[in-house]
Copies of this chain bind each other. A is one copy, B any other.
Amino acid sequence: MTGDAYVAGVGMHPFGRWPDASMRTMASEAVLQAVGDAQLTVRDIQVAYFANSLGGLLTGQESIRGQVSLHDVGIRDIPIINVENACASGSTALWLAIRAVRSGEFRVALAVGVEKMFVGDTQRTLSALQTAADTEATAGQGLQFVALYAMRLEEAIRTGALTTEHLAKVTTKNKRNGSLNPYAQFRKLMTEGEVLAGRPIAGPLTLPMVSAISDGAAAVIVTASPGSNGAVRVRASVLSSGAVDGLGELVVRRAIALAYEEAGIGPEELNVAEVHDAVSPAEFFRYEEMGLCPAGGAGELFDSGATGLSGRIPVNPSGGLSARGHPVAATGLAQISELAWQLRGQAGARQVTGARIAFAQNSGGWLDGDAAACAVHILEATNAA
């Protein structure tokens, strides 16, 4: 388990509402882009981990979603493993691909995530999303995670740690970042007033704060050697599942701690981060869990500008889930795509200057108030600074 692993290529199908796109057309586009980015061909891929969460319920394709979706690009006669972990499906596929390479068994592994969520019936999509929780325990209660975040945010506002303005401001920050990202679903700037005037969803949350229904795909090629195209080295790769924890998301803290330990670094060494903000103000909880600030200090950190694009540790330069969109199983690999571009200096107008160490956190599902799965990856640039 001592072998190195590299992110050698990344690719995305833009997130958005794509009536004419299917799981297979979106997956194909992301895979071909990632393969080209790695200066390889699809025949070089030795094992593929295919992430999708809702295809069975929303498109009718269950069971062999990866084989069906990868067939057209010629990925056929290798091990293809279909994986699922709700909103953390994509990073779960990456976790497996990294292990396939680290073990020495494979030299080139593919992780790809795709979701087709616009199926002409929003209620059906929302019902499918409820399967990210224990359906026996929560049947008919709606999207549990939104209510749980609303409760946590109300508590933070009550204690003075955050204000309603903070909730609006972090959303406008991420909409601004998303406006610079050609792969983002929402590229329109919003004012704080517009965010607060949005349709109320739960507690202090309004519609612009909530991650959106989206179609899209993202792919990552993991290799055993860095190649010649500025591959990004994997410094840490952690996956864990939740224990019983009330509202604290203990699993996120644990996964982050394990990742810092594996990478041998602390939060002060991070230069850029993509975190799972299923509602954009959830980013504040991530600041604390990452150790970027003390407990209760997230609002102050944000006010200092540290997490803005030109701050000390820009968070969600891609726009995060509320701006980039959240095609469930693609999100974790979209984070990795964004960070690879950032570490290679290819992020265009949203480039974080001189980023060398990047952090990605992707959560999925809810069980007993904790996330059902959480993956954390830390990446490092290998090209000249």
Contact = CB atoms under 8 A, between A and B. Distances in A.
Contacts of A152: none
B99 A105 contact: yes
Interface string A207-250: 00000000000000000000000000000000111111000000
A95 to B, nearest CB: 7
Contacts of A254: 77
B131 A63 contact: yes
Protomer copies? 2
A211 to B, nearest CB: 15
Contacts of A71: 134, 367-368
A259 B21 CA distance: 39
A62 B128 contact: yes
A335 interface: no
A383 interface: no
Contact of A77 (B84, B95, B105, B243): B243
A104 interface: yes
Contacts of A96: 81, 96
Interface in A76-124: 76-86, 89, 92, 95-96, 99-100, 102-105
Interface in A349-385: 364-365, 367-368, 372-373
A67 B241 contact: yes
Interface string A269-291: 00000000000000000000000
Interface in A31-65: 53-54, 56-57, 59-65
Interface string A330-354: 0000000000000000000000000
Interface string A295-316: 0000000000000000000000
A78 B240 contact: yes
Nearest to A50: B84
Given A53-B63, A99-B105, A128-B62, A85 B81 contact: yes
A135 interface: yes
Contacts of A92: 81
Contacts of A63: 53-54, 84-86, 89, 131-132, 364-365
Contacts of A132: 63-64
A131 B62 contact: yes
- Chain A's interface size range is 35 or more
A126 interface: no
A201 interface: no
Contacts of A89: 63
A373 B64 contact: yes
A367 B77 contact: no
A202 interface: no
A83 B51 CA distance: 9
A133 B64 CA distance: 7
A220 to B, nearest CB: 17
Given A67-B373, A71-B368, A96-B81, A60 B241 contact: no
A99 B95 contact: no
A251 interface: yes
Interface of A: 1, 22, 53-54, 56-57, 59-65, 67-68, 71, 76-86, 89, 92, 95-96, 99-100, 102-105, 128, 131-136, 239-244, 251, 254, 364-365, 367-368, 372-373
15 contacts: A56-B57, A57-B57, A62-B84, A62-B128, A62-B131, A64-B134, A64-B364, A65-B84, A68-B134, A71-B367, A76-B242, A77-B243, A80-B372, A83-B83, A84-B84
Given A56-B56, A56-B131, 7 more contacts: A62-B84, A64-B134, A68-B367, A78-B241, A79-B95, A81-B95, A82-B85
